[in-house]
Amino acid sequence: MSIAWNAFTPASALIGGAIIGGAAALFAVLNGRIAGVSGILGGLMRPQAGDISWRIAFVAGLVAAPLVWRLLAALPEIRVDASVPVLVAAGLLVGVGTRYGGGCTSGHGVCGVARASPRSIVATLAFMAAGFATVYVARHLIWQ
Amino acid sequence: MYTAASFTAGFVFGLGLLVSGMANPAKVLGFLDLAGAWDPSLALVMAGAVAVGAAAFTFMKRRTRTLLGAPVLLPSARRIDRRLILGSLVFGVGWGLAGICPGPALVLAGTGSAKGLVFLVAMIAGNGIFEFFERRAAPGPAHT
């Protein structure tokens, strides 16, 4: 392992992370809920009266962030290297896995870990380990 | 009010993803590539988010109502079961393939990225597959 010092952005990572934590804090303090994107989006698959608008509003907020950003400044670099077939497979796996696992990087990784939930800590270790293993296989065993 | 707070939380969350670089799949994969040139940024994003989030969740622990008067609906599940671990592992494989998880998928769609949209559609299809099997196993309202 070697650290990519040219790619490492400690300041923006910490500040951006604090903003993400701020959003989760806002949501907990005002709405009393976990800012877990997979659960918020997935709940729309089985819509129930009175349980729809806050979900759509949160999702709309996420989509609106880059739209508003672009009015004021250029968007930061965004690069998607995966091919379309890989994106389809990845999307399906993320869509199924996050629902079975009851959360994703936001619900388990940020909120759950912040609450010191043992369930979320286990889930976070599991998806991190699977992510590390997948990238290792894809980049160092298949590609080389 | 409740819906507006939800939109704001989603919007701030999206800004945090953009600032931190986590809306950039290439940067996320740089973190997951331990054996390559490793970019530790994601770890600092998590640290920043968890630090801020933890303060809010500690504050909410003693409350039954939010500052807006809504009931506090933070999860109480504690069981670490096969669903949690298997689901998280499947999610991690998908995350490692493309470097995209649910929050950034929505932000990417907002940037107008065609590849981001492909991932988002596949992810929603994955949510649908989950719902299909859940309903077949136990018809009735979902709990999330």
pLDDT digits (tens, 9 = 90+) for A19-44: 999 999 999 999 999 999 999 999 99
For B47-50, the CB contacts below 8 A with 24+ separation are B47/A14, B47/A17, B48/A13, B48/A14, B48/A15, B48/A16, B48/A17, B48/A18, B48/A20, B48/A21, B48/B20, B49/A17, B49/A18, B49/A20, B49/A21, B49/A24, B49/A110, B49/A114, B49/B16, B50/A17, B50/A21, B50/A110, B50/A113, B50/A114
CB pair distance less than 8 Å for B106 and A62? yes
CB pair distance less than 8 Å for B118 and A124? no
* Domain ranges, residue B40: 2-137
pLDDT of residue A49: 86
pLDDT of residue A72: 95
DSSP code for A49 = T
CB pair distance less than 8 Å for A128 and B100? no
pLDDT of residue B75: 86
Q: Is residue B142 part of a domain?
A: no
CB-nearest to A78 from B92, B111, B119 is B111
Q: Is residue B130 part of a domain?
A: yes
pLDDT of residue B141: 58
Condensed to tens digits (0 to 9), the pLDDT of residues A72-106 reads: 999 999 999 999 999 999 999 999 999 999 999 99
Instruction: Provide the mean pLDDT of chain A.
Output: 95
Report the chain B residue with the minimal C-alpha distance to residue A100.
Answer: B87
Contact B107, A69 (CB under 8 A): no
Q: Is residue B51 part of a domain?
A: yes
Residue that has been written with the tokens 């490793």 in this structure: B38
Position A109 pLDDT exceeds 90:
yes
Dihedral pair phi/psi, residue A81, rounded to 5°? -85, -25
CB pair distance less than 8 Å for B13 and A100? no
Name residues of chain B where pLDDT drops below 50: 144
CB pair distance less than 8 Å for A135 and B29? yes
Which residues are paired to B102 by β-bridges? none
- Number of domains, chain B: 1
Position A135 pLDDT exceeds 90:
yes
Q: Is residue B144 part of a domain?
A: no
pLDDT of residue A75: 95
CB-nearest to B53 from A25, A100, A135 is A25
pLDDT tier at A54 (50, 70, 90 boundaries)?
very high
Position A119 pLDDT exceeds 90:
yes
Cβ-Cβ contacts under 8 Å, A130 against chain B: 88-93, 95-96
For the four alpha carbons of A78, A16, A62 and B78, in that order, the dihedral sign comes to positive
